[in-house]
């Protein structure tokens, strides 16, 4: 598209990162190759969360070659503080939030902008094209696990979906006034901060559009062990913390694994004492095993990897059980008031404990 216009405007691209030396250069190369919407220019703000590897060195070298790139410090380390600092430091009329652990096609920015204008959405985004995060077979397992609906449920941006209004999209392309109206990302959330903000947009009457034409090449965890540890230590507990801080962000699909884990634990403990529990438990687990096997076979065919048919059913179970266990742990910590979000001040004056934005914003 044309890069000149009598009415130029700026787009600010914010990239939080920490210890991404293996991905940051490819990410920035893909971003700097973006085609621009008519009349637009863009700046790239890399928000480094005190990296201890070569991330800052690599980014600084790219910035020295291209003045559009700025390396800024994120003393808060986490992604929510990175985005908030980035928005404050940005000059753009539009805000694009990206991730360093991904690469983007050259038409990514144009498609996001055109989709936002066409739809009137407050946030527009696309879908993941998930790639293995390593060279071994374990990385392929993670890829297959996270690209099937039996594995990740109704996450349309992970499993492919038609264009539609959605409750969230990966990263996102925002009108700047969204932040002026609804505030910042909730810095109490180390995880799920993007999802909370998107649900806040919807709660305030806004809209989010997901387009399958907007595609992101995303690199998953390098091994199944890394993936499962991330679930129980980070991702899953913050589902529970999210519900505590932002009840409007509750989604049934995020609670399914907690119900599953509780059912497995309860069934194993109580089945020996009564057949009224043993037989239903056996029936449910048999159905689960059948669905896991069929899903494993589908992924084995899709990725032309016969070993998936044998191992994926076990991986599905481990993922669902461990994620559910993590959610339950988060709920228990909330009950005993030991959750990290209960020890942190509200993100900004007037936010309140249960709402992450000023109440007048949705009146």
**Mean pLDDT, residues 41-52 taken together:** 96
Residues in a beta bridge with 90: none
How far, CA to CA in Å, does 234 sit from each of 30, 50, 258, 318? 29, 19, 15, 16
Q: At the topology level of CATH, where does 1-106 sit?
A: Spore Coat Polysaccharide Biosynthesis Protein SpsA; Chain A (3.90.550)
**CB under 8 Å, gap of 24 or more: what pairs does 258-262 form?**
258/324, 258/327, 258/328, 258/331, 259/324, 260/320, 260/321, 260/324, 261/320, 261/321, 261/322, 261/323, 261/324, 261/325, 261/327, 261/328, 262/324, 262/328
The answer to whether residues 59 and 71 touch, using CB atoms and an 8 Å cutoff, is: yes
The answer to whether residues 47 and 115 touch, using CB atoms and an 8 Å cutoff, is: no
**Mean pLDDT, residues 10-38 taken together:** 96
Which of 177-181, 264-268, 311-315 has the weakest average pLDDT? 177-181
- Core vs surface per residue 227-247: b (16+ CB within 10 A) or e: bbebbbeebbbbbbbbbbbbe
Alpha carbons 4 and 38: distance in angstroms, whole number: 6
pLDDT at 160: 59
The answer to whether residues 140 and 307 touch, using CB atoms and an 8 Å cutoff, is: no
**Mean pLDDT, residues 252-277 taken together:** 93
Q: Is the pTM of this model over 0.85?
A: yes
pLDDT at 254: 85
What tokens does 34 get?
């973006």
Q: Residue 201 burial by CB count (10 A; 0-12/13-18/19+): exposed, middle or buried?
A: buried
The CB density around residue 294, as the number of other CB atoms within 10 Å, is: 13
Domain spans in the chain, listed from the N-terminal domain onward: 1-106, 249-342
The answer to whether residues 316 and 295 touch, using CB atoms and an 8 Å cutoff, is: yes
Tell me the pLDDT tens digit for each residue of 98-154. Answer: 999 899 999 999 999 999 999 999 999 998 888 998 899 999 999 999 999 998 877
Share the mean pLDDT of the chain.
90
């Amino acid at each position: 598209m044309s890069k000149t216009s009598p009415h130029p405007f700026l787009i600010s691209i914010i990239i939080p990162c920490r210890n991404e030396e293996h991905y940051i250069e490819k990410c920035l190369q893909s971003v700097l190759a973006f085609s621009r919407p008519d009349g637009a220019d863009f700046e790239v703000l890399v928000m480094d969360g005190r990296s201890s590897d070569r991330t800052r060195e690599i980014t600084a070298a790219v910035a020295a070659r291209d003045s559009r790139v700025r390396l800024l410090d994120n003393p808060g380390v986490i992604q929510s503080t990175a985005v908030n600092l980035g928005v404050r430091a940005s000059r753009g009329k539009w805000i694009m939030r990206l991730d360093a652990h991904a690469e983007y096609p050259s038409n990514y920015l144009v498609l996001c902008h055109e989709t936002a204008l066409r739809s009137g959405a407050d946030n527009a985004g696309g879908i993941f094209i998930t790639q293995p995060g390593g060279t071994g077979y374990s990385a392929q397992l993670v890829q297959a696990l996270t690209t099937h609906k039996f594995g990740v449920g109704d996450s349309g941006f992970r499993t492919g979906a038609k264009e539609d209004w959605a409750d969230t999209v990966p990263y996102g392309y925002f009108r700047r006034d969204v932040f002026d109206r609804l505030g910042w990302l909730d810095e109490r959330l180390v995880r799920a901060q993007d999802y909370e903000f998107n649900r806040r947009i919807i709660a305030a009457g806004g809209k989010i559009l997901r387009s399958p034409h907007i595609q992101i090449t995303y690199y998953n965890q390098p091994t199944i062990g890394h993936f499962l540890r991330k679930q129980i230590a980070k991702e899953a507990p913050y589902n529970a913390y999210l519900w505590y801080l932002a009840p409007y962000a509750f989604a049934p699909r995020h609670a399914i694994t907690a119900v599953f884990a509780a059912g497995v634990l309860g069934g194993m403990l109580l089945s020996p004492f009564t057949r009224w529990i043993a037989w239903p438990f056996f029936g449910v687990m048999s159905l689960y095993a059948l669905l896991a096997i069929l899903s494993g076979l589908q992924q084995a065919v899709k990725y032309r990897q016969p070993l998936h048919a044998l191992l994926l059913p076990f991986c599905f179970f481990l993922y669902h059980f461990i994620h559910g266990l993590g959610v339950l742990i988060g709920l228990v910590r909330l009950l005993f008031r030991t959750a990290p979000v209960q020890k942190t001040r509200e993100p900004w004056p007037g936010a309140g404990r249960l709402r992450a934005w000023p109440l007048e914003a949705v009146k």
